[in-house]
Structure 1
Amino acid sequence: DHGEDVAGGPPGTPEEDGDRYIEIWNLVFMQYDRDAAGNMNPLPHPSVDTGMGLERLAAVLQGVHNNYDIDLFRHLIGAIAELADEKDLTNTSLRVIADHIRACAFLVTDGVVPSNEGRGYVLRRIIRRAIRHGHKLGLREPFFYKLVGPLCEVMGDAYPELPKARPQVERVLRQEEERFAETLDHGMAILEEAIAKLDGTVIPGETVFKLYDTYGFPVDLTADIARERGLTLDMAGFEREMAAQRERARAASSFSVAGGEGLDVDVKTVFTGYDHLTDQGQVQALFRDGVPAERLSEDEEGLLVLDRTPFYAESGGQAGDYGVLRMGDAELAVLDTQKQGDAFLHQVRVQKGVVAVGDKLEACVDKQRRRQIADNHSATHLLHAALRKILGEHVQQKGSLVEADRLRFDFSHFDAVTPAQLAEIEALVNEQIRANLPVETRLMAQEDAIAAGAMALFGEKYGDTVRVLSMGDFSVELCGGTHVSRTGDIGLFKIVSEGGVAAGVRRIEAVAGEAALRYIGETEKSLQRIAALLKADTGIVEAKVQALLERARGLEKEVEQLKAKLASSQGGDLAAQAV
């Protein structure tokens, strides 16, 4: 109760509107589960859910009637007002920006980067909404990142990870501001033009979609602007445009196991491939062109589901296994392995004989390919740990591809990795390979694994029990893939390339094991061919090329000088003829 001088009555009365009475704590007695039919079923274990408004409590303790008047927000609002030279500290835009800098800074600290999907898109929407409110205050240059410092001043003691990540947070926010500034003016011009042409109060869904798709305008930002003008959005039209885009994307993509998408497979395949590369399995289901079948004959292709299999199904970036299935005179080539729900789908081609539902098959994984994949997968774990040690703990995996002949690793980092850093990263990975660290796996409760320091991939879904893979003390991650027994088994690691794939996301492509040896051998042969063309030893190829380049530059300069003399001479002759 803020007192009689504040408008409002007790909750539940006709006079409840107002700020006199506020709720700072509530209790919800959880007693029933409402099912899909609307029936109320008693919970086996009733409970009490409690929630408290910490900022409201702070407002009461500090004797203020508004959350934005507490000390935390006063400091942030003051910093924004100073940047914008705004005297009215109750300005709504100041409050929006103060709220948004806190959310954005902690999201980036937790490893989220702006993108067009998932959590990254939520972050991008919040940043861009804050930027627009900055524009309303007259702030045309990047400003949002400058508020990370004031935020650290008021929250850094309670959250030490925030000041530790400050340089990264500032860099992420500034780059997103600069990127959005390039499109904000164009997008606003499109929106203003559409509003000027409106015959009514509803902005067409096509316009909303164009702003979203072409100019990166979050829909809620367009809605904010519309609301200020007394307009609404045609959300049904926008959703139709989005659905059409999703359909186009779906048509352009294909499921890697032919006909495997959307199959009705009620089978739980037991995976035995961690410990065995051969096993016996019974055929539970067959599909031909996506349609259930009782049998597959010679030269036919389809999908086959076993009750147990040593074949690893594509998951976590690791490619699915290849191999052979046998039964008597029948033999099937396994061309790929995918997973749908709990079922492992083997894409097969019948080489000879016939296979039918109920048959028992011997499943044999391609050992050499599995070993090569294990080399590359284990190398990605070492690479991830090395990146965090060399570039900083802000680095988080954003995607990966592990195949037999190469690996690709996407990670959060906003600058190009320098050649010197790449050399240091590669050397550190190879150092761990030479150390021949033991590679061990343990099944643990997810909470225990995280508490023990295991790294989980942001956004990945895990069960209650997780598989923890450690490589000595150098790398500890949650992973369901297949790996080497010791890091020394990898043999060699070589970075092939590094580049950017999205805002704040870099990509390293590399090779390990036999693939690394082949890559180095091919590179050496290429160097020898170049040396032969230059008629020089491989040790002096660089110097020879440099000398040729300098000579070419000198000749180009001479040619330009001769052209100038020729032009001058021809000009003189023409002048003489004119006289």
Structure 2
Amino acid sequence: MKANELKRKYIDYFVNKGHTEIQSASLIPENDPSVLFTTAGMHPLAPYLLGEKHPAGKRLVDCQKCIRTGDIDEVGDASHLTMFQMMGNWSLGDYFKKESIQMSYDFLVNILGIDPNNLAVTAFAGDENAPRDEETVSIWKSMGMKDDHIFFYGKKDNWWGPAGVTGPCGPDTEIFYIDQSKPKCSDECGPSCHCGRYLEIWNNVFMEYNKTSEGKYEKLKQQNVDTGLGLERTLCVLEHIPSVYDTEFFTPIIKDIENASGLKYADSIREFRIIADHMRAAVFILGDDKGVAPSNLDQGYVLRKLIRRTIRYMQKLGMSWEPMIDIANTVVREYSGEYPELERNKAFIIEQLQNEAIKFAKTLDQGLRLTERILEGMDQNGTVSGEDAFKLYTSFGFPLDLTIELAAEKGIGVDSVKFEELFKEHQQISRAGSMQKFKGGLADASEETTKLHTATHLLGAALRKVLGPDVHQKGSNITAERLRFDFSFDRKMTKDELDEVEKLVNEAIKAGITVVCEEMTLGDARERNAEGVFGDKYGEMVKVYTIGTVSCEICGGPHVTNTAQIGGFKIKKEEASSAGVRRIKAVVGEQYA
């Protein structure tokens, strides 16, 4: 079965079950700072999981492009990917466990033809926050699932969310394909042992809780279903092939690497897979309409890491970085039919890859010189300190394996134990900072974030009035303390321009304008000249928020009901975001009135 055929079967199946197809959202979450990337289909739908009405209805189906970096060290095995496509069906306060499980089973067994004897499932074992999920197990048994194919696990394995610190979450039931060619690793062999016998393909999350900032799990006002069926993994199962890297998604990329390196995939499997995975992910991030570029912060840092790791593994195969551009062109060619933004942003993709490769070459050269100084004069059987190895990592992006490799060439070891201690400490500090940084966002829909969300509409309208009609939003990020608004503009704003924008926003706030929300077709919204960020993400029905004659914009909310509730508006900073994109940071409240 071809990938597009599988995707179409899935979409059509759920459309026939009363679901409305919606488009894949951006990889960069809009107004949700709880995560750096869209790691699941639930991010764009967070307000609707919390109870807001979706214009497309209560049943939705999509195929969402996702980025997950938590498993980056697993990339190169048979199933883990940085960028993947997640098919999902959604119930927003409509059907729940029984219907969800029945449809999943029906699709896998009767539509895709998978032998039910090759399926295993898991359920939540229960804890102090939520009870043992006996209902889910009872439903699976009614479908014919055998006792020895059902497993109970705790929160680590059978609880999904929240995506950030707070937000919608709940117990899940995961569906695994059993590779019968692989024997059980022990008498306790099951999906949680990760021995390779069980491959997770589908996860049905029963989202009925909201985790608060105090760590409490409160019942949502509606019961939701959020499912994810991995497109790459399911195709792998249907084609009876050993890994996701042997599917049609990767064979053209693997061929590019073979041609450029003169080597065979079978001789350097892990290196080929890492290069193919990281390049595909990097191209999708660069190709997103929100225009992320490599940097030392947030999404840009992850992107930089993926590109530089690609170059290092290309060097391991004796390659220069230049073939990276050929691989990028292949990714754009192979995927732009489904994701037209890649072709649309192709020039930006190539430009940023070239720039980053050249920068890394200089950094790599500096790091190699420092490494030479560290190794100089050391006796054979000496040891590079963990502190020096960690300095090479933090200053020059040298992974530990590169330092070990360079030292080994001179018969010198590396104190990897001390390096790992420093690395873990670094991770804990970073994670603690992120937990503070990424509080808030759409997931909590607090009063402050709601005010800030509406303020972005007023800001966008003011910018267009002051700078011209070609100014459009390129992205935004909202915490409980401030808004960050990216917009298309090719120079630094003057003080007079910033003062005028701030004045216009405050005038709209003081005017006390009613914020009107209407549901309409996308065509009607366009006829009204509604501003829409990344218009191809919307379904047929959309929500349009109108603020008098000031602003008319397609948006998912949440918003205040009257601009006076915002209190006041103050621009704190205007700076460059990336090529042709500027960024404004601003705050709201009565003190700025």
TM bucket (normalised to shorter chain) is: 0.3 to 0.5
Output the TM-score relative to the length of structure 1. 0.43
**Greater Cα radius of gyration, structure 1 or 2:** 1
Output the TM-score relative to the length of structure 2. 0.42
